[in-house]
Amino acid sequence: MKLQNIKAILGVAFFTTSAWLSIQLTQAAPPDPVAGKAKAAMCFACHGENGIGSSPEIPNLAAQPALSITYQLIQYRGQQRKGSGMDGIAQALSDQDMRDIAAYYSALPPPPAKSGNAQLIEQGKQIASAQFCNSCHGAQFQGQKHIARLAGQSETYLITQLKNIRSGERVDMDGTMGSAAKGLSDEDIKALAAYAAALN
């Protein structure tokens, strides 16, 4: 085998998520939140014009980091992530549509904190600290870059996602979240979701 071929194969093997992402996102016009609002009209029935999900199974998108929204849409479109028809919906979106829609939703005011069982919330806070969830999701679970905001998110949605990530049914981009969820019990997940939902 020629050295060049070996290099090509190795090149694919070492192709990191971030390199893949940057290629997916190159050669683009700047994200346009005004165009994004118009393009998001078909999302409003479920995710709201204000970015608040219309039922507990539907995630809030308000104040989600733009890159997190874009990346999840890319995963749905590529069928790496499936769920409740979102993979079908994402088929119609171009990269530019995704960036514009993400710019719109990420700029909206964050969802309000929800009240809940104080003891469960405190328990969730302690687990989050012990498991270093904040090191990636931010001190107040506000999210950053490609990492989702959890603060003020629907508790029901968070529980479903954590269980799906733990079981491997939802495959995460680089395995970091998969390992973070692996050791969590159902009780831990309940407490973490209550804590996250109670943050603003």
Secondary structure class of 43 (helix, strand, coil): helix
Cβ–Cβ < 8 Å for 102, 70: yes
Cβ–Cβ < 8 Å for 73, 90: yes
Nearest position to ligand HEC, beta carbon: 83
Is residue 136 close enough to count as binding ligand HEC by CB under 6 A?
Answer: yes
Cβ–Cβ < 8 Å for 79, 87: yes
Which of residues 132, 144, 169, 182 is near ligand HEC by CB under 6 A? 132
Stated as kind and residue range, the H or E segment containing 97 is: helix 95-106
Which of residues 33, 72, 111, 198 is near ligand HEC by CB under 6 A? 72
Which range binds ligand HEC by CB under 6 A, 2-10, 25-33, 67-75, 114-122? Answer: 67-75
Size of the site for ligand HEC (CB under 6 A): 39
Supply the minimum distance, in Å, between the C-beta of residue 165 and ligand HEC: 6
Is residue 47 close enough to count as binding ligand HEC by CB under 6 A?
Answer: yes
Measured between alpha carbons, how far is 11 from 175 in angstroms, rounded to an integer? 20
Measured between alpha carbons, how far is 158 from 29 in angstroms, rounded to an integer? 33
Which of residues 18, 79, 176, 185 is near ligand HEC by CB under 6 A? 176
Measured between alpha carbons, how far is 170 from 71 in angstroms, rounded to an integer? 14
**Interacting residues toward ligand HEC by CB under 6 A:** 40, 42-43, 45-47, 57-59, 61, 69, 72-73, 83-86, 89, 101, 128, 131-133, 135-137, 146-148, 150, 158, 161-162, 172-173, 176-177, 180, 192
